[in-house]
Amino acid sequence: PARYRSVHFQQIKDAGGKFAMLTCYDATTAQIFDHAGIETLLIGDSLGNVVQGQNSTLGVTMDDMITFSKAVVAGTERAFVLADLPFGSYEASVEQAVESGIQLVKETGISAVKMEGGIEYAPHIQALTAAGVAVVAHTGFTPQSEHVLGGYRVQGRDADASTRMVEEALVLQDAGAMMLLMEMVPAEVAAAVDQALTIPTVGIGAGNGTTGQVLVWQDAFGLNRGRVPSFVKKYADVGQVLSDAAQQYREDVLQAKFPNDDHSF
Ligand code: KIV
Ligand code: NA
């Protein structure tokens, strides 16, 4: 089957449908998620946390995004693949954003970039889109701004949050964003934004009113041994499966049960 394109997500929204997005950082996992039917894979700068073991996304570089994005694109046939513009690659100017967006698409084969930020980034979205780079806007809690926002916390809890976030989202849509991602906002605010927009939305910790949902796969499938946010549903305990397999393998080696004749030349 042909690869998903931005127009397909617009069709899904127009038809009142839903779609799934997962993060992904390597070709092996990408192939599994692609075959499972996941419509969109995101090389998130969350790779700083889950792949590189850092406690924020701030140190992730363009080179990191290029390395992992290439791997995910290589592992997919069908999924729409997008990647984050990392901290420091787009904020300084519209020109910087366009250069980084073009580089990421050109060197990796991804179909869109995701960029954190509100109304102040409308000119960047407009210029990227004009240059041929599809943009997914990311609002609500934006982890790259954790030092300004004062830590990981739900955004848009104030009384006029709905009106404000709808107005902001409309500006980003007008600028040309193909999709809007909302992170950690109240469910009714995210639902109001989805209803006000014609473009599809995707949520993480944003309730059930968005067009799509996204989760960090290590969180959702039980690979993350640390703290998992409360908005994550745990679908599997892959970490336990891996741990059991590693222990069994070690036992076999120590007891000289592996390899046997079947696994020897
Ligand atoms: O980096 C990431 O994985 C993300 C998602 C959590 C939306 O931006
Ligand atoms: Na991210």
96-121 core/surface letters (b: 16 or more CB in 10 A; e: else): ebbebbebbbeebebbbbbbbbbeeb
**Does residue 1 register a pLDDT over 90?**
no
Output the residue whose Cα is nearest ligand 1's atom 3: 44
91 is annotated as contributing to ligand binding: no
**Does residue 171 register a pLDDT over 90?**
yes
Q: Each residue of 241-254: pLDDT tens digit?
A: 999 999 999 999 99
**Does residue 225 register a pLDDT over 90?**
no
**Of 67, 75, 72, 73, which Cα lies nearest the Cα of 31?**
75
Q: What angle do CA 73, 29, 210 make, to 5 degrees?
A: 80
3-state secondary structure of 254: helix
**Does residue 29 register a pLDDT over 90?**
yes
Residue 97 pLDDT level (bands cut at 50, 70, 90)? very high
Q: Please tell me what DSSP assigns to residue 139.
A: E
- Which atom of ligand 1 is found nearest the CA of 42? 3
- 6-234, what's its fold? TIM Barrel (3.20.20)
**Does residue 151 register a pLDDT over 90?**
no
Q: Please tell me what DSSP assigns to residue 27.
A: H
pTM to 2 decimal places:
0.97
What separation in angstroms does the CA of 121 have from each of 138, 206, 212? 10, 21, 23
The number of the ligand nearest the C-alpha atom of 219 reads 1
Q: Which residues line ligand 1 (CB under 6 A)?
A: 23, 42, 44-46, 84, 181, 183, 204, 214, 216
Distance from residue 53's CA to the centre of ligand 2 (Å): 15
Is 167 one of the catalytic residues? Answer: no
Q: Spot the catalytic one: 91, 183, 188, 251.
A: 183
Q: Which residues contact 26 (CB under 8 A, 6 or more apart)?
A: 68, 71, 72, 75
H, E, C per residue of 225-241: CCCCCCCCCCCCCHHHH
